[in-house]
A and B are shown apart, each in its own frame.
Chain A
Amino acid sequence: MSVDLTTCYLGMPLCNPLAIAACRPLTGDLDMLRRLEDAGASMAVLPSLFEEQIEHEELEINRLLEFQTESFAEAMSHFPELDNYNTGPQEYLRHLEDAKKAVSIPIIGSLNGQSNGGWVRYAKMIEEAGADALELNVYIVPTDPGITSADVEQRYLDLVSAVRQSVEIPLSVKFGPHITSLPHFAQHLVAAGADGLVLFNRYVEADIDLETLQFKPDLVLSNRHEARVPIRWIAILRDQLQASLAATSGIHRMQGVLKLLLAGADVTMLASALLMKGPEFLSILLEEVTTWLEENEYQSVEQMKGSMSRSNSSNPGALERANYMRALIRYSAEYPGEPVA
Chain B
Amino acid sequence: MGELSDAWSAQQRINIFGTVPDVIEMQSEGGAAGAVHGSLQAGALTTTFTASQGLLLMIPNMYKIAGELLPTVFHIAARTLATHALSIFGDHSDVMSIRQAGWAMLASNSVQEVQDLAMISHAATLRSRVPFIHFFDGFRTSHEVNKIEQLSRDEIRAMIEDDLVQACRDRAMDPDKPVLRGSAQNPDVFFQAREACNPYHNAVPQIVRETMQQFRELTGRSYDLFEYVGADDAERVIVMMGSGAGAVEEAVSRLSSAGEKVGLVKVRLYRPFETAAFVAALPESTRKVAVLDRTKEPGAVGEPLYQDVVAALAETGRLSSCPTVLGGRYGLSSKEFTPAMASRIFEELDSSDPKRHFTIGIVDDVTHLSLKWDPRFSTEEEDVTRAVFYGLGSDGTVGASKNSVKIIGENTPMYAQGYFVYDSKKAGSVTVSHVRFSPRPIQSTYLIDRANFVACHQFNFLERIDVLTTAQPGATFLLNSPYGPDEVWDKIPKEVQQQIIDKQLRLFVVDAISVAQEAGMGMRINTIMQTCFFALSGVLPRDQAIEQIKEAIRKTYGKRGQTILDRNFAAVDAALTGLFEVQVPSDITSTIKRISYSHSEGADFVQRVTSMLLDGRGDLLPVSALPVDGTFPTDTAKIEKRSIAQEIPIWDGDICIQCGLCTLVCPHAAIRSKAYPKSSVNGVPDGFESRDWKGKELPDHLLTIQVAPEDCTGCGICVDVCPAKSKEVVKHKAINMEPKLEHLDRERDNFEYFLSLPEVDRTQIRTETVKGSQLLQPLFEYSGACAGCGETPYLKLMSQLYGDRALIANATGCSSIYGGNLPTTPWSANSDGRGPTWNNSLFEDNAEFGLGLRLALDQKRDHAEFLLKSIAGTVGDDAVRAILEAPQTTETEILEQRKRVSGLKEQLAASDEEYAGKLAALADVFVNRSVWIVGGDGWAYDIGFGGLDHVLTTGRNVNILVLDTGVYSNTGGQASKATPRAAVAKFAAAGKPSRKKDLGMLAVSYGNVYVAQVAMGSNPAQTVKAFREAESYPGPSLLMAYSHCIAHGIDMTTAMTHQKTVVQTGFWPLFRYDPREANAGEQPFHLDSRKPSKPFRELAMKEARFAMLTRMDGERADLLLEQAQRDIDDQWRYYEQMAGVERAIVNDFEEAQS
Contacts and interface: CB of A to CB of B under 8 A. Distances in A.
B984 A79 contact: yes
B428 to A, nearest CB: 9
A68 B429 CA distance: 9
Nearest to A89: B562
B490 interface: no
B1046 interface: yes
Interface string B533-571: 000000000000000000000000101111110100000
Categorize the interface residue count of chain A. 35 or more
A62 B560 contact: yes
A61 B1104 contact: yes
A85 B1047 contact: no
A79 B431 contact: no
Contacts of A67: 394, 1046
A62 B88 CA distance: 29
A31 interface: no
B970 A79 contact: no
A88 B565 CA distance: 12
A70 interface: yes
A82 interface: yes
Contacts of A220: none
Contacts of A71: 392-394, 398, 422-423, 426, 429, 431
Nearest to A81: B7
Interface in B1035-1054: 1046-1047, 1049-1050
Contacts of A117: 566
Categorize the interface residue count of chain B. 35 or more
A61 B1108 contact: yes
A59 interface: yes
Nearest to B559: A85
B426 A72 contact: yes
Interface string B72-108: 0000000000000000110000000000000000000
B242 interface: no
B1105 interface: yes
Contacts of A81: 7
A162 to B, nearest CB: 17
Interface string A32-69: 00000000000000000000001101111110111111
Contacts of B393: 68-72
A80 interface: yes
B725 interface: yes
Interface in A61-117: 61-62, 64-88, 91, 117
Nearest to A80: B989
B786 interface: yes
Given A71-B423, A79-B986, A87 B88 contact: no
A85 B1108 contact: yes
A340 interface: no
Contacts of B563: 54-55, 58-59
A78 B1112 contact: no
Contacts of B971: 74-75
B1046 A78 contact: yes
Given A83-B11, A213-B725, A88 B1108 contact: no
Most chain B beta-carbon neighbours within 10 Å: one of A74, A78, A86? A78
A75 B967 CA distance: 12
B227 interface: no
Given A65-B560, A66-B396, A68-B393, A77 B1112 contact: no
B255 interface: no
Interface string B1106-1143: 00100110000000000000000000000000000000
B139 interface: yes
Contacts of A84: 559, 1111-1112
A80 B985 contact: yes
A173 B984 CA distance: 41
A30 B566 CA distance: 33
A85 to B, nearest CB: 5
Contacts of B394: 67-68, 71
A76 B4 CA distance: 13
Nearest to B971: A74
State the majority secondary structure of interface residues on B. Answer: mixed
Given A70-B396, A73-B139, A75-B970, A62 B564 contact: yes
Nearest to A65: B560
Contacts of A73: 88-89, 139, 143, 422
B622 interface: no
B88 A85 contact: no
A79 B1104 contact: yes
A74 B559 CA distance: 25
Nearest to A114: B563
Contact of A79 (B88, B398, B973, B1050): B973
Contact of B557 (A62, A70, A74, A75): A62
B116 interface: no
Contacts of A72: 393, 422-423, 426, 429
A67 B1108 CA distance: 15
Contact of A77 (B423, B730, B972, B988): B972
Contacts of A213: 725, 730
A154 B985 CA distance: 48
Contacts of A86: 1111-1112
A84 B559 CA distance: 6
Nearest to A73: B422
Most chain A beta-carbon neighbours within 10 Å: one of B393, B561, B725, B970? B561
B398 A70 contact: yes
A91 B1110 CA distance: 11
A74 B970 contact: yes
A83 B1112 contact: yes
A1 B846 CA distance: 89
A217 B395 CA distance: 34
Contact of A69 (B11, B88, B399, B984): B399
B6 interface: yes
Contact of A82 (B422, B566, B1108): B1108
Contacts of B967: 78
Interface in B951-967: 967
B524 interface: yes
Nearest to B3: A80
B1049 A64 contact: yes
Given A70-B431, A80-B984, A58 B989 contact: no
A79 B564 contact: no
B1048 to A, nearest CB: 9
Most chain A beta-carbon neighbours within 10 Å: one of B139, B985, B1104? B1104
A75 B973 contact: yes
Contacts of B576: none
A97 B88 CA distance: 52
A79 B396 contact: no
A83 B9 CA distance: 12
Contacts of B817: 74
B10 interface: yes
A59 B564 contact: yes
A69 B11 CA distance: 22
Contacts of A54: 561, 563
A230 to B, nearest CB: 35
Interface in B6-53: 6-7, 10-11
Nearest to B391: A70
B943 to A, nearest CB: 15
B200 to A, nearest CB: 37
18 contacts: A61-B1104, A61-B1108, A64-B1050, A65-B1049, A68-B394, A70-B399, A70-B431, A71-B398, A72-B393, A74-B88, A74-B971, A78-B967, A79-B973, A79-B1049, A79-B1105, A80-B989, A83-B559, A85-B1111
Q: Which 4 A-B pairs have the closest CB atoms?
A: A71-B393, A58-B561, A75-B972, A87-B561
Interface of A: 54-55, 57-62, 64-88, 91, 117, 121, 211, 213
Given A75-B972, A78-B967, A85-B560, 17 more contacts: A59-B563, A67-B394, A70-B402, A70-B431, A73-B89, A79-B984, A80-B3, A80-B7, A82-B984, A84-B559, A84-B1111, A84-B1112, A85-B559, A85-B561, A85-B1108, A85-B1112, A117-B566
